[in-house]
Amino acid sequence: MQENQRKLWWVDEKTARVFNALIQKHIMLLNIAYLSENIIKVCWVSGFLVQTKGFLIWMTAGHVLKTLDELFQNNKVSGIKIRWIDNCSIKDAHAITCDYTNICKFSIDVEGYDFGIVILRKFYADQILKVKENVPLTEAHWRLDNGFEPEGFYLVGIPEEFTESRQITTSTELYVKSSGTLVSVPLTKEDPIIHQLEDDFWQHENNFYGQIHPIKDDKGNLLTNISGMSGGPIFGVCKIDENKYEYRIIALQSGWLQRKFTRGTRFDKIIEPLNNAIQKVISANQG
């Protein structure tokens, strides 16, 4: 048993929290508030920052952007307010208003490819990067040609059940205050071939598959449902020294099954569409 625990060192809760503190600098979330049938509703979206070819990019799942598009088209919804939230686990996290209808975005959600790309205009990029705690992922974080072999994996994001909302009433207004806890969920790599006859979930060769291991928040609450973590990055990690890790982004989370398994589009399959999206922006600006 002790030997097995040493092999799965990354599933230890203290280790996961150390990694979570290390990795939060790459994470950027969306906080969405809106009015539906006279009820204020709040939700969170997991995502992360990437910088390449001179552009700052926010990435999430493609089906997440599709859901947001549908929200804006819903005539029963009004007063939508969206904010970029960085370093979610830090009290009074920095927030920047997001004009969602005017952002430059691309998304794919078909046949195992599920990712969304938001190319941030200079106005947003400058505000985000002036906060020193925000550090986008770069090519060095997804290149695997240097012999990097992950020992374990983490899915990083904000699960819905680790968010809280409470209604605040003042003499002049009614609003909802919302907060959330960023977590790094330990995963072990799962071979989809042994499950292929069980469910369509396992049929996508472009995906990384992982088994979910238990994790608690800092209050001791056990995570039982990773709903809300779609669009979060899946990192492969190696232990260099105590509290020191080497990591690469392996996939972008897009789905889960029976609360036991998760999957995500492999990041090496996203690079070409990402570069194509950037090229379209460059061409449009030159036109």
Span 171-202, pLDDT tens digits: 555 556 778 889 999 999 999 988 877 788 99
* Domains in the chain, CATH or no CATH each: 2-281 (2.40.10.120)
* 110 — pLDDT class (breaks 50, 70, 90): confident
Higher pLDDT, 3 or 95: 95
For residues 79-91, average pLDDT: 77
Rounded to whole angstroms, how far apart are CA atoms 114 and 21?
Answer: 27
Residue 3 has pLDDT above 50, yes or no: no
* 92 — pLDDT class (breaks 50, 70, 90): low
For residues 268-274, average pLDDT: 91
Burial degree of 5 (CB within 10 A; 0-12, 13-18, 19+): exposed
pLDDT at 168: 62
Neighbour-count burial for 51-75, b at 16+ CB within 10 Å, e otherwise: bbeebbbbbbbbbbbeebeebeeee
% of the chain at pLDDT higher than 70: 90
* 167 — pLDDT class (breaks 50, 70, 90): low
Say how many CA atoms lie within 13 Å of 94 toward its Cβ.
14
Span 20-66, pLDDT tens digits: 999 999 999 998 988 888 888 888 999 999 999 999 999 999 999 99
Q: Give pTM, 2 decimals.
A: 0.91
